[in-house]
Amino acid sequence: MQTTNRQLRLQSRPKGLLAPGDLQLVESPVPELKDGQALARLKYLSIDPTMRVWMAADTYLPAVPIGEVMRALGFAEIIESRHPDYKKDDRVTGLTGLQDYVLIDASAKQFFQKVPKIPFVSDTVFLGVLGMNGLTAFFGMEIAAPKKGETLVVSAAAGATGSIAGQIAKIHGCRVVGIAGTDDKCAWITKELGFDAAINYKHPDWKEKLAAATPDGIDIDFENIGGEIMQEVLSRMNLHGRVVVCGFISGYTKADPNMVSLGTVIVKRLHIQGFLILDYAARSMEAATQLGQWKMFGKLKDRETIVEGLEKAPDAINMLFTGGNTGKLIVKL
């Protein structure tokens, strides 16, 4: 066992994309185990847009304090335990932080849960389809309540959450149109995931293409991006349409807030609902069971973008905002 724990600590709050030094790699001793504690070694780190929010300000969780290990979800294996609930080789997911080793004790237990070893399924599924992204897509679709024949548009459609949300909408019989930022991503969501259409918003005529792909208007917007893309989707909403706001990724790296004109909200009698997955913690097993079943029967496909090495985590975070990943973005340790 190593005696050094590498950690990425937040040294300064980024402006825009992360700059070198915003997260600083620091070596510290692996903590010594006391009674009631378990030590876990990180295998995978989940890289998510919300991390950029955690770096910036107190929102739904307090901002990560300067000098502390950067908050992140991860997958880890217990390597030593003096905790009654964990034994060596148990596998857990939770808020591990960006580091090699994490100490689990009673106070932190609520943030960790044990996960099983599933044959033929990658461990990383617990960070993606069966993790925060899958649960976010599942409960977001519960709020959206998609009905057969309705048209749903999802932005960041080739991202970890959007790609699952769109597939769930397909399971419910919707016409699903995804918005993404490369032709490769568009090809993936239509050819492999079965979306009915995909719009590359970097093409100059994307608005016309969105109109052509939604001939009956849009009943549901599963919104991940905000800004100009959301504005265009709002303009095509049908009467009494639903907008489920999962994220505003386009705004997370900008100093000016993510402005949208809401005039259509009255005219179209729109229902806009923001949500956070942490409100659904008590129902995570219900969602994971359904998601696991869909995955087992081939109804939910996923893809991963794997980056190797803890030191690459800052670059990986930036990839989320520059369109560098398709599907779930993981740092492998």
* Contact residues: a second copy, CB under 8 A: 59-60, 226, 245-248, 251, 257-276, 279
Q: Which is nearer to a second copy, 212 or 239 (CB)?
A: 239
Instruction: Report which residue type is found at 143.
Output: I
Q: Which is nearer to a second copy, 121 or 272 (CB)?
A: 272
The distance of closest approach from Cβ of residue 219 to a second copy in the complex, given in angstroms and rounded to an integer, is 15
What is the CB neighbour count within 10 angstroms for residue 238? 17
Q: Which is nearer to a second copy, 34 or 269 (CB)?
A: 269
Burial class (CB in 10 A: 0-12, 13-18, 19+), 145: exposed
The distance of closest approach from Cβ of residue 331 to a second copy in the complex, given in angstroms and rounded to an integer, is 25
Q: Which is nearer to a second copy, 266 or 282 (CB)?
A: 266
The distance of closest approach from Cβ of residue 233 to a second copy in the complex, given in angstroms and rounded to an integer, is 13
The distance of closest approach from Cβ of residue 308 to a second copy in the complex, given in angstroms and rounded to an integer, is 32
Burial class (CB in 10 A: 0-12, 13-18, 19+), 243: buried
Q: Which is nearer to a second copy, 121 or 143 (CB)?
A: 143
Q: Which is nearer to a second copy, 170 or 268 (CB)?
A: 268
The distance of closest approach from Cβ of residue 258 to a second copy in the complex, given in angstroms and rounded to an integer, is 6
Nearest partner of 158 among 182, 175, 140, judged by Cα = 182
Instruction: Report which residue type is found at 9.
Output: R
Angle between helices 160-171 and 132-144 (to 10 degrees): 40
The distance of closest approach from Cβ of residue 243 to a second copy in the complex, given in angstroms and rounded to an integer, is 8
**C-alpha separations of 263 from 153, 231, 267, 270, 275 in Å:** 20, 10, 7, 10, 22
Angle between helices 132-144 and 284-296 (to 10 degrees): 100
- With tokens 């069971």, the residue in question is 289
Distance CA 271, CA 280 (A): 20
